[in-house]
Amino acid sequence: MMNQLIDIGVNLMHRSFDHDREDVVARAHAAGVTPLIMTGTSLRSSDEASRYAGKFPGKLVATAGIHPHDTRNCKENTMVRLRQLAKQPQVVAIGECGLDYNRDFSPRDVQRKWFEAQIQLACELQMPLFLHEREAHYDFVRIMKTYAGSMHKVVVHCFTGSMQELQVYLQLGFYIGITGWICDERRGKHLRELVKKIPLDRLMLETDAPFLTPRDLTVKPQDGRNEPSFLPHIAATVAGCLGITAEELAESTAQTTKDFFGLSL
């Protein structure tokens, strides 16, 4: 079996997992993917994720944050509740937060306000940031630079951007999360070159399950659902791009992830 892999982004509280959530965790563990870092995207999902993670010490941890899509629902007490969640031992990062100008489910000024509030919280608590950016690179970087001296650590989750964007993130000291997007011979082709530019000690892996199922899986799930047990397939693709073994990649990314999130596993 491959060395330990850590999936930094699993939407495990998504309704598509309601009927077999524990089985998904078990399959991931059997595939060497452990622990799983569950993504919080709203107050509700962050609360659910932290509660569920608390039942599986050593196997699950969680993030707590408000996705840009959900910032329209933020209220005055949102950050108070987020701070309370973030102080739980199983919560290891603030996020998923950021900017999304592709869908604009929340007004852009609202997105920016609550993104900045979450950066401030992460700075206050000295916790890592788990970030989302889609078609909002300029504003995203402008805001992040304001806090450059105060932030703890930052990962841009599910990176699919350009070489120029990657260079900016790396210059700012950010880490990069790569998903099964790299397994898509159509949309992900450019990532196969860009991943070579990411220093190994800044690279982490994720499925973003149940989304972004790798297109080139030999046996495709009938329901099309992605799950963390597919991470070794993504790791093999990334390792091939880098010209190293899957075992070397697993060892490197697992250590980077443990250091980044402060995991003592």
Identity of the residue numbered 107: P
Q: What is the pLDDT of residue 1?
A: 46
Strand-by-strand arrangement of the 60-64 sheet: 5-10, 33-38, 60-64, 91-100, 129-134, 154-156, 175-178, 203-205
Instruction: Kindly report whether the global pTM for this prediction surpasses the value 0.85.
Output: yes
Length of the chain: 265
Closest CA to 15 of 209, 222, 217: 209
> 48 preceded by cis ω (within 30°)?
no
At 3 the pLDDT is 78
What local confidence, expressed as pLDDT, does residue 2 receive?
Answer: 54
pLDDT value, residue 265: 64
Intervals of the chain under pLDDT 50 = 1
Tell me the C-alpha distance between 198 and 110, whole Å. 32
d(CA 166, CA 177): 11
What per-residue string of b and e applies to 116-125 under the rule 16 or more CB within 10 Å gives b?
Answer: ebbbebbbee
Give the whole-angstrom CA distance, residue 203 versus residue 183.
16
